[in-house]
Amino acid sequence: MKALVKKEAKTGLWLEDVKEPKPLDHEVLIKVKNASICGTDVHIYQWDDWAKKTVPVPLTIGHEFMGEVVEVGAYVNRIKVGDRVSVEGHIACNSCRNCLRGKKHLCVSTIGVGVHRNGGFADFVAVPEDNIFILDDSVDDELGSILDPLGNAVHTALSFDLVGEDVWIVGAGPIGMMACAIASRVGARNVIISDLNEYRLDLALQLGATQAINAKSQKIKDAMKKGKIQIGFDVVLEMSGSKAALRSIFKNTMLGGKVALLGIPKEEIAIDWNDIIFRGIEIKGIYGREMFETWYKMLSLIQSGLDVKKVITHRFHKDEYEKAFEVMISGRCGKIVLNWD
Ligand SMILES: [Zn+2]
Ligand SMILES: [Zn+2]
């Protein structure tokens, strides 16, 4: 079968012929139909420091995908051949204290599909039954391939009550853009997004942001004034990992405000903790998606009208993966779907 493989410990990815996986007793085999490219895949492509210390070589990458189940292992009973499915890419150990108390998203030894073990940028991929999410008709084949990042957006955005609140979304990557759609859908008053990328700021406005500001040329205080926000934001969703952003967030959060952190900083960042303490700010770190509470919430949001399809801006066939990564790296895109047929 064909798979997009990190074959060597250097920049690049290779579309290779590899052996088809055989599902273990507790696994299912999926014939992949659509996959989508994540920032994580770009890190692996570029072979940065994080990738070097995290990803074993050779490895088939890809953790955002959907397809059809074509084979099930002997101990599988919930999933059937023919099911249309998406996959939760974090495989929990099911035996640590957090797993046993129902907090699998906080498993102490999570394994990442397409990061630590072979992933879904392939004709076929084997995944534990526990990680399968069955799709219904409300989720089409393209949307089904971006549920992983949509889940990140849902998990982050719904961490705090947004009804009637002034929300600042920092970073207009695909997850930030989708968070705009969610915040606006659930009744936030202001949904202000900031970034440096004009293409993505435009797209964020189409997805539901009330204002999109370029952090290089516009001031957050001006956007606040325009949105009639007097002191600070009620809720901040940090999705950039940027040093400048992290430093300004806490100065622009309302007393008693809440901050959810999803963006991953590249380095240690000094923060003036006084801003947090004296303003009584609540901070929550976000990793992955709650299994499977986030997935059920995501599905309900979609079924009741949440529309994030505009975030998908490009489609390529798997053979054009080099071109797809080029567009992804340029930043002039939202989500990019690879058609794997
Ligand atoms: Zn991802
Ligand atoms: Zn665990």
Residue 142 domain boundaries = 2-150+289-339
Domain count, the chain: 2
Nearest ligand to residue 120 Cα: 1
Beta-strand pair 132-134/84-87? antiparallel
Question: Do 75 and 124 have their domain in common?
Answer: yes
Nearest ligand to the CA of 130 is 2
- pLDDT, tens only, 126-153: 999 999 999 999 999 999 999 999 999 9
Instruction: Assess contact for 182 and 154: CB atoms under 8 A.
Output: yes
Mean pLDDT of 47-69: 97
Q: Is residue 211 part of a domain?
A: yes
Distance of CA 70 to the CA centre of its chain: 26
**Which two structure tokens, joined as six digits, stand for 8?**
């060597």
Q: How far is the CA of 265 from the centre of ligand 2 (A)?
A: 25
The pair of structure tokens assigned to 124 is: 């076929």
Q: Is 225 left (phi over 0), alpha (psi -120 to 50) or beta?
A: alpha
Note whether 108 and 172 are same-domain residues: no
Residues 140, 46 share a domain: yes
C-alpha 177/C-alpha 158 separation (Å) is 15
Can you tell me the distance from the alpha carbon of 294 to that of 209, in angstroms, rounded to the nearest whole number? 22
For ligand 1, the distance from its centroid to the CA atom of residue 303, given in whole angstroms, is: 22
Which of 250, 268, 285 is at the close of a domain?
285
The answer on pLDDT for 324 being more than 90 is: yes
pLDDT higher than 90, residue 341: no
CA 33 to chain centre: 19
Is 156 noted as a catalytic residue in this protein?
no
Residues 219, 139: one domain?
no
Task: Give the active site residue among 11, 26, 43, 116.
Answer: 43
Which residue has tokens 């406005």? 205
Is the domain of 265 the same as that of 298? no
> How do residues 97-123 score in pLDDT, each as one tens digit?
999 999 999 999 999 999 999 999 999
In-domain check, residue 245? yes
Same domain, 254 and 178: yes
Catalytic residue among 26, 40, 60, 90: 40
Same domain, 12 and 145: yes
Q: Which of 27, 65, 90 is nearest to 339 (CA)?
A: 65
Cα separation, 338 vs 125, whole angstroms? 15
If you count them, how many residues does the chain have?
341
In whole angstroms, give the CA distance from residue 98 to residue 108.
Answer: 7
Mean pLDDT over 296-300 rounds to: 98
Tell me how far the alpha carbon of residue 96 lies from the centroid of ligand 2, in angstroms.
Answer: 4
Same domain, 133 and 258: no
CATH for 31: 3.90.180.10
In a domain, 15, yes or no: yes
pLDDT digits (tens, 9 = 90+) for 148-197: 999 999 999 999 999 999 999 999 999 999 999 999 999 999 999 999 99
Q: Is residue 125 part of a domain?
A: yes
Distance 149 CA to ligand 1 centre (A): 6
Amino acid residing at 106: L
Q: Which two tokens stand for residue 44?
A: 């692996």
**Is 111 inside a domain boundary?**
yes
pLDDT grade for 238, boundaries at 50, 70 and 90:
very high
